[in-house]
Amino acid sequence: MARLEFLNRFARNRGALIGAGLILLVAVAALLAPVLYPTDPLRIVGAPELWPGEDPDFPLGTDSLGRDILAMIVHGARATLLIGLFASAVATLIGVTVGAIAGYFGGWVDEIAMRASELFQTIPNLIFVLTIVVILGSTLTNIVIAIGIVTWTPIARMTRAEFLALRDREFVQACRAMGMDDFRIIVGEILPNALPPVIVLSSLVVAGAILFESAVSFLGLGDPNLASWGRLVGDGRLLIRSSWYICAIPGVAIMVTVLCLNLIGDGLNDALNPKLRDR
Amino acid sequence: MASIASTGASARQRAALRLLGRRLVQAVPLLLGVVVINFCLIQLAPGSFLELMTAENQVSDPATVELLRKTYGLDDPIWMQLLKYIWALLHFDFGFSYRQNMPVIEAIGVHLPATLLLMVSSITLAMTVGVAAGVVASMKVRTFWDSLVSVAAMFFYAAPSFWLGIMLIVLFSVKLGWLPVGGMATIGGDGGMLDILHHLILPTLALGLFYAAIYTRVMRSSMLEVSQADFVRTARAKGLSRNKVTIAHVLRNALLPVVTILGVQMGTVLAGSVVIESVFSWPGIGSLLFDSVSSRNYPVVLGIMVLGSLVVIVANIAVDLIYMWLDPRIEIR
Amino acid sequence: MSLPLEVKDLRTTLFTRRGEMKAVDGLSLSIGAGETVALVGESGCGKSLSALSIMRLLPDPPARIVGGAVRLNGRDIVPLGEEAMLDIRGKEIGMIFQDPMSALNPVATVEKQIAEVVTTHTDLGRGQARARAHELLELVGMPDAGRRLDAYPHQLSGGMCQRVVIAMAIACSPSVLIADEPTTALDVTVQAQVLALLKRLQTDSGMAMLFITHDLGVVAETADRVVVMYAGRKVEEAPVDDLFDRPLHPYTVGLIGATPIPGAERAERLADIPGMVPPLNALPKGCAFAPRCKRVMERCRHEQPALTEPVPGRLVACFAAEEG
């Protein structure tokens, strides 16, 4: 049973397990945010600029206005994870589509797709995102789409490579001989086989999207209604001399989340390619 | 098998020139693509193109408005507008920035050197640290040093660069007072080279360590892979010491994948400097972009996108040439 | 006067997760000046590891010399440290390998790679080293040697690459040259050229040569004496003509019987002996060849035959051969 073996190999990687475990924790916290902290995290609840540990009511301290940092972190998890997931969904959708078409049809279609991916790789990605956001507005949708537009190229390349390898295989030729149309072959036959490496890439894509979103909100250009971790870091900038923990804590949260996703990605990679494992 | 005539330095120079020519030709459609995307974004924006270009009451003089109308062909069909836009750009007319009170291209030009300086120093740091750490990790594989390097790389790869920048400021500026908090030169200072370098340290670390982490990983696995190659065995059979073999034979071959990756990441390095410049008040195009975004200075924003892409293209060509120099097997078709 | 190479009871073990494998189990051989000894056997019999053991180039982990002596011009090099070995490799003993195209550093010129050996072991400067490299290329018969000095390996054919490798190996006039399947990866015509080159170099310098191969056709052409290995042990040794005239060990008989007449199409016929070499961590009790042997007796399954000398100059480890 290939899937069981895959999970087995994944489980043997300690780092990946730790990563998966922590991510689960973060996801659960994000889901339970309204339960754990039912009140609006942006409400002022205590004295301003309390250090972590000063007041047992606020384990992670309060910010410049007196808001509970832990509450903001837990709620921020939602924003950060949501945007990360949606943005990578967009990127995956675009990337897989472009890659599949390029890899399957080849020829000038492939050429155009390759030129397009080169184009999107040439434009400095954050500059592109900021340009889109500033011209079209800082809404959640715009940010998600902008990040997706900027991060689809590696997925496209990987999908294309898989399609190139698979399109000349016997089972595909058999389908063609049966008279199956291209769309059904691409989506029904080849795509399911091409997906595993894309799935491996996906956790890294989510990590990248989270870093992106953090940078955009750090600069104050994110959706004003969402207090993601990046925005928290940005808000704390003015106080780094006295209360630098306000910047530090959300940043650590981002780092830990991204680290876990990377570990999971490594674990998936090792599980998928056991022969290529590093000694 | 190549002929005898294609050995030697002059043959490689000719191949390098051919590469340069081809890449410059390829750059044209790329830039055109960027311009088209720019144009599409402008068209998609709420409000008209004119409002974009004259936004925030930068221009209210009707004569200037009329001139802009003609230059950008705003009464003409869309494709005509696109052509006029391209035509304007070809003349390096990116518009005028009232905020800086100079043509956009000048405004960008003034800020570009600072960003280039930051980019170059970050890449240099990343390559030096990454390659060195990767080599050390591979030579001491499976020991404490290897694990240390790998763990450090993991953290720097996951840490958001803006946060890292802030933490570095807290440690080295606020707590220790060794390094300046921001800016490129001390206000009221002499602005000399040493002063600039002093200010360059923290931004370079903040931007470069992320890439150093990537290169460390790649270099390490590349070194391990190349060490298994046949020619390494031959080198040892010649009586060369392990270290000599590693440095003289393995390293040069293991470097190739790292250089390849460097090329791919040029765009992200430039983008990363935008955030770092904001954190450190570094006066490069990142700061200009941020300022222009906040003040809705669209001509500058769009100009930065085009010129930023140009920088990436040029940097990519440079990396390709370096790769060619390192690997004599590359045949330019 | 001591022999250029004397191997006495060499034992090399592979320490792996799947157990210890006695890759080389008590090999002894000696080569005189100007003599060529061929070491033959199937892949996995331990011949390459023997060569690497002699050169002290074993990948450690997992391989290690666990016993025996290797005397190079009378001096045992097994106990020597790595520093001392650096002086010996490439200078007193040289080695050439199987795939010439991958044996050379792809990003360095021919001249640089040959000059490297010279500058490592002698006091010659860069310019002199270059001249010496040129000399060596001509010595190994490289056409248009002057231009080829600045070529990169990918610009040369397989035969030319092997000439470069040979040039590097003999640059410091070693007393011993080990050749590990040097012609296996080359075409037949080039093979003949390289073998002729090696013979000429040997005659001119008087160096001893250990020639490792699985191709008996090559053995017939180049060797003075032959050592046959099986599962890490020497099973037969004889002067080349005697070996082909009257092979004593059933394994040798199988090898030679499987090889077509020289002159006919060169082919590897070792698969004609039914069965496979046993895994080294699960050797059968008794003679390792017993499961595949045509002349197997009950005794063979319980006792390991020792090397005997039925005729002066010939060694064989076989109970059946002892009986005649």
Rounded CA gap, C197 and C190, in Å? 10
**For position C319, what pLDDT does the model report?**
83
Q: What is the mean pLDDT of residues C160-185?
A: 92
Cis peptide before C182 (omega within 30 of 0): no
Higher-confidence residue of B223 and C16: namely B223
Read off the tokens for C113.
């790679």
CB A44, CB A66: distance < 8 Å: yes
Residue B17 predicted with pLDDT over 80: yes
Q: pLDDT-based confidence at C279, cuts 50/70/90?
A: confident
Residue B63 predicted with pLDDT over 80: no
Q: What is the mean pLDDT of residues B77-83?
A: 76
Q: Rounded to two decimals, what is the model's pTM? A: 0.85
Least confident stretch, B25-29, B41-45, C34-38, C84-88: B41-45
**Cβ–Cβ of B249/C105 closer than 8 Å?**
yes
DSSP H helices, chain B, are 9-44, 49-53, 62-71, 78-90, 104-139, 144-158, 161-168, 193-227, 230-237, 242-245, 251-264, 266-280, 285-294, 298-326
Q: Which chains touch A (3 or more CB pairs under 8 A)?
A: B
- List, for residues C117-130, the tens digit of each pLDDT value: 999 999 888 889 99
Q: What is the mean pLDDT of residues B160-174?
A: 91
**Cβ–Cβ of C102/B236 closer than 8 Å?**
no
Rounded CA gap, B307 and B54, in Å? 21
Higher-confidence residue of C264 and B114: namely B114
**Cβ–Cβ of B239/C104 closer than 8 Å?**
no
**For position B332, what pLDDT does the model report?**
45
Pairing of strands C233-239, C314-316: antiparallel
Q: What percent of chain B shows pLDDT beyond 70?
A: 87
With CA atoms as reference, the chain C residue closest to B234 would be C103
Which range, A52-56, B13-17, B187-191, is most confident?
A: B13-17
Structure ipTM over 0.90, yes or no: no
**Cβ–Cβ of B253/C107 closer than 8 Å?**
yes
Q: Tell me whether chains A and C touch (3+ CB pairs under 8 A).
A: no
CB C183, CB C8: distance < 8 Å: no
**For position C269, what pLDDT does the model report?**
47
Q: Which residues of B touch A230 (CB under 8 A)?
A: 160, 162
With CA atoms as reference, the chain B residue closest to A210 would be B160
Least confident stretch, A77-81, C278-282, C316-320: C278-282
For residue B332, give the nearest of B10, B5, B11, B79 by alpha carbon: B11
Would you call C186 helix, strand, or coil by DSSP?
Answer: coil
Q: Which residues of B touch C82 (CB under 8 A)?
A: 241-242
**For position C130, what pLDDT does the model report?**
92
DSSP H helices, chain C, are 47-55, 82-88, 110-121, 126-139, 145-148, 158-170, 188-205, 216-222, 240-245, 250-258, 319-323
Q: pLDDT-based confidence at C209, cuts 50/70/90?
A: very high
How many Cα atoms are found within 13 Å in the side-chain-facing hemisphere of C297? 11
Q: Which residue numbers of C have CB closer than 8 Å to B's CBs?
A: 55, 57, 82, 85-91, 94-95, 97, 99, 102-108, 116-117, 120-121, 144, 147-148, 150-152, 154-157, 165, 168-169
**For position B205, what pLDDT does the model report?**
95
Rounded CA gap, A117 and A114, in Å? 5
What is the pLDDT tens value at each position of chain A, 279 positions in all?
A: 466 666 666 666 677 777 777 777 777 777 777 777 767 777 777 777 777 777 777 777 887 788 888 888 888 888 888 888 999 999 999 999 999 889 888 889 999 999 899 899 889 988 998 888 888 888 888 899 999 999 999 899 889 988 888 888 888 888 888 887 878 878 887 888 888 888 888 888 999 999 999 999 998 888 888 788 998 898 888 888 888 888 898 999 999 999 888 888 888 877 776 654 443
Q: Which residues of B touch A248 (CB under 8 A)?
A: 163, 166-167, 170
Distance of CA A43 to the CA centre of its chain: 29
**For position B54, what pLDDT does the model report?**
62
With CA atoms as reference, the chain B residue closest to C55 would be B237
Pairing of strands C93-96, C176-180: parallel
Q: pLDDT-based confidence at B104, cuts 50/70/90?
A: confident
Q: What is the mean pLDDT of residues C274-289?
A: 79
Q: What percent of chain C shows pLDDT beyond 90?
A: 43
**Cβ–Cβ of B252/C144 closer than 8 Å?**
no
CB B30, CB A119: distance < 8 Å: yes
- List, for residues C31-81, the tens digit of each pLDDT value: 999 999 999 988 778 888 999 999 999 887 788 899 899 999 989 999 998
Higher-confidence residue of C261 and B25: namely B25
Residue B59 predicted with pLDDT over 80: no
CB A71, CB A65: distance < 8 Å: no
Q: Tell me whether chains C and B touch (3+ CB pairs under 8 A).
A: yes
**For position B1, what pLDDT does the model report?**
45
**Cβ–Cβ of B328/C154 closer than 8 Å?**
yes
State chain B's mean pLDDT as an integer: 84
**For position B191, what pLDDT does the model report?**
66
Q: Which residues of B touch C107 (CB under 8 A)?
A: 252-253, 326-329
The DSSP result for C268-283, as a single string, is: --GGGSSS-PPPTTSP
Give how far B248 is from chain A: nearest CA, Å.
23
**Cβ–Cβ of B242/C147 closer than 8 Å?**
no
Give how far B7 is from chain A: nearest CA, Å.
32
Cis peptide before A48 (omega within 30 of 0): no
Q: What is the mean pLDDT of residues B121-147?
A: 91
Q: What percent of chain C shows pLDDT beyond 70?
A: 95
**For position B74, what pLDDT does the model report?**
64
**For position B71, what pLDDT does the model report?**
64
